[in-house]
């Protein structure tokens, strides 16, 4: 199989991150530094190392659904020493990686896994995996503003893709919106709502594809069922 796929299946990193490791010259096959894509390796025969450490081949895959609280970073390390989502997980004998990101102040549904191939496809815009958010915003968006959000908002990195947007509740000086997106740019929901004059006061992701937070409290998690994993694989065109 291709080297980057082998690294992803071994739980070293997502396939995209594995490609970065290869380009940086940090990967060797049988002692030879590899810096180009497409090199084939034979699992169990070829000796693969990353930063001098041997890669032992595909490991057992874990799939966790976490209710991320606000005040945690969605990374496996943080130079500022802030709490990490991986700090909430215990007893898993594998290095888990977040599938996508939720910013420090955002709470809600987050997948953690060591399945690099699935991570790549769930986060790649090509596969259009839906993500649904509840956003408490300042002010009351009118019908024209909601239609603007649905059609796409011009941001500094280009217009957003069409989204499903519904006004769930309107208060005196705030409103609750439900937004469903198929792309995952950095802080996209916050930026698009700020761009239309209704900055976010609180943000929660409540759904990823067919997965929800049902039965979970902030800071808790559960393992996906085999059926749920199979559905995710089918959703992004993989065979389990």
Q: In CATH terms, is domain 3-54 a member of 3.30.200.20?
A: no
Instruction: Report domain 130-208's class.
Output: alpha beta
Catalytic residue among 78, 87, 103, 157: 103
Active site residue 103: yes
Instruction: Report domain 63-125+212-235's class.
Output: alpha beta
pLDDT in tens, 84-135: 999 999 998 888 999 999 999 999 999 999 998 899 999 988 899 999 999 9
What percent of the chain is helix, strand and coil (3-state, nearest 5)?
Answer: 25, 30, 45
pTM of the model: 0.77
Q: Do domains 63-125+212-235 and 130-208 have the same CATH topology?
A: yes
Helices (H), the chain: 3-9, 15-23, 116-123, 143-151, 188-195, 226-235
**Model confidence band, residue 162 (pLDDT cutoffs 50, 70, 90):** very high
Where exactly are the structural domains of the chain? Answer: 3-54, 63-125+212-235, 130-208
Q: Is 163 helix (H, G, I), strand (E, B) or coil?
A: coil
**Four-point Cα dihedral 185, 187, 191, 194, nearest 10:** 160
Share of the chain above pLDDT 70, in %: 99
């Amino acid at each position: 199989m291709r080297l980057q796929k082998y690294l992803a299946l071994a739980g070293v990193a997502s396939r995209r991150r594995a490609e970065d490791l290869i380009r940086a010259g940090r990967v060797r096959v049988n002692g030879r530094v590899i810096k180009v894509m497409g090199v084939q390796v034979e699992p169990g025969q070829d000796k693969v190392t990353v930063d001098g450490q041997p890669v032992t081949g595909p490991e057992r895959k874990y799939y966790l659904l976490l209710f991320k609280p606000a005040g945690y970073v969605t990374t496996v390390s943080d130079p500022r020493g802030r709490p990490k989502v991986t700090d909430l997980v215990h007893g898993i004998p594998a290095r888990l990686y977040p599938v996508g990101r939720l910013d420090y102040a955002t709470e809600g549904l987050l997948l953690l896994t060591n399945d690099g191939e699935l991570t790549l496809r769930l986060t790649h815009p090509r596969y259009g995996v839906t993500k649904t958010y509840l956003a408490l915003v300042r002010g009351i968006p009118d019908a024209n503003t909601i239609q603007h959000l649905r059609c796409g908002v011009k941001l500094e990195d280009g217009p957003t893709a069409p989204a499903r947007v519904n006004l769930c509740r309107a208060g005196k000086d705030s409103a609750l919106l439900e937004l469903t997106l198929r792309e995952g740019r950095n802080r996209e929901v916050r930026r698009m709502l700020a761009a239309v004059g209704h900055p976010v006061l609180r943000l929660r992701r409540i759904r990823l594809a067919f997965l929800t937070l049902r039965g979970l409290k902030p800071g808790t998690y559960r393992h996906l069922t085999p059926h749920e994993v199979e559905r995710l694989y089918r959703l992004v065109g993989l065979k389990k």
